[in-house]
Amino acid sequence: MARSTRLLMLLQTLRGRSRPVTASALADELGVSERTLYRDIADLIAQGAPIYGEAGVGYVLRPGLFLPPLMLTEDETEAIVLGLRYVDQRGDEVLAKAATGALAKIGAVLSPAAKEALQNPIALPGPRGPGFPANAVDLRTFRAAIRSQRKLRIGYIDAKGARSKRVVWPIALGFMNEARVLLAWCEQRQAYRTFRTDRISAAEETGERYKARRAQLMRGWRAQMNLDETERFTPDRI
């Protein structure tokens, strides 16, 4: 077995364990000596892998991003770079900053061949558009509500200028070419709706968590997209 392959297998083995596993058990699983196992763990730690533990007690891989050299092919690197550069163009300030940081972290651990794909990509995103309409409500407000699964009371202005107040269960943000939208379950309409964020005049948390899990709501929304327009999909049916 090539050493690079063995290191990746060691990482995958540790990722699948929630409790510390002894060097002896790891060595048996990988078919190597404990001495080799200790050396491999030391090398991975030197490369930045968040492995914690000690001989005789066991080792565990703590949560955290770690991409060792050779983990990404040139095509995989192309896909990641294209996606992150698209985010830099279409995302908001928070996502654009995150994309820049992610590219820097990935570039620091890539193999020489993959770094060439990072610096001189074959696939490029299209030119930047004219920009997005300004939002009255910071997108961080929506992100916070989505992550905490909190209901929002919003003021909304539709395409005809009509104003309404809604209580919604926010579940995702959509980044389109010309607008950004909030995907949510609307209590008033008793249906899934998308709201352009530039038309949301105000938003505040109601203090209530919505009763369905966000993952369930996402499945319900995807299911509704495949239903006839005459059918309705409610959280009670999720």
What is the maximum alpha-carbon separation in the chain?
72
Residue 105, number of CB atoms within 10 A of its CB: 13
pLDDT at site 78: 82
| Residues 85 and 23 reside in one and the same domain | no
Is the residue at 129 inside a domain? no
Distance CA 177, CA 40 (A): 46
Q: Tens digit of pLDDT for each residue in 180-204?
A: 999 999 999 999 999 999 999 999 9
| Residues 32 and 87 reside in one and the same domain | no
Is the residue at 130 inside a domain? no
Domain with residue 146: its CATH number is: 2.30.30
pLDDT at site 229: 41
Low-confidence ranges of the chain (pLDDT < 70): 1-2, 55, 64-72, 108-111, 113, 129, 227-238
| Residues 15 and 89 reside in one and the same domain | no
pLDDT at site 237: 37
| Residues 56 and 81 reside in one and the same domain | no
Say what the alpha-carbon torsion angle 118, 124, 129, 135 is, to the nearest 10 degrees. -40
Residue 174 zone, left/alpha/beta (φ > 0; ψ -120 to 50; rest): beta
Is the residue at 78 inside a domain? yes
Q: What is the DSSP string of the chain?
A: --HHHHHHHHHHHHHT-SS-B-HHHHHHHHT--HHHHHHHHHHHHHTT--EEEETTTEEEE-SS----TTSS-HHHHHHHHHHHHHHHHHS-HHHHHHHHHHHHHHHHH--HHHHHHHHS-S-------S--PPPSS-HHHHHHHHHHTEEEEEEEE-TT--EEEEEEEEEEEEE-SS-EEEEEEETTTTEEEEEEGGGEEEEEEEEEE-SS-HHHHHHHHHHHHTS-TT----GGG-
| Residues 34 and 96 reside in one and the same domain | no
| Residues 186 and 149 reside in one and the same domain | yes
Q: Are 21 and 60 in contact (CB under 8 A)?
A: yes
Is the residue at 98 inside a domain? yes
Is the residue at 173 inside a domain? yes
Beta bridge partners of 167: 153
Domain with residue 42: its CATH number is: 1.10.10.10
Of 197, 184, 192, nearest to 226 by C-alpha is 192
Tokens at 166, concatenated:
């809604």
Q: In which domain, by residue range, is 80 found?
A: 74-119
Letter for the amino acid at 78?
E
Residue 229, number of CB atoms within 10 A of its CB: 5
| Residues 232 and 144 reside in one and the same domain | yes
Pick from 85, 119, 153: which residue ends a domain? 119
Distance CA 148, CA 95 (A): 19
Is the residue at 21 inside a domain? yes
Q: What's the number of domains the chain is made of?
A: 3
pLDDT at site 109: 66
| Residues 177 and 206 reside in one and the same domain | yes
| Residues 217 and 160 reside in one and the same domain | yes
| Residues 115 and 202 reside in one and the same domain | no
Tokens at 66, concatenated:
């770690």
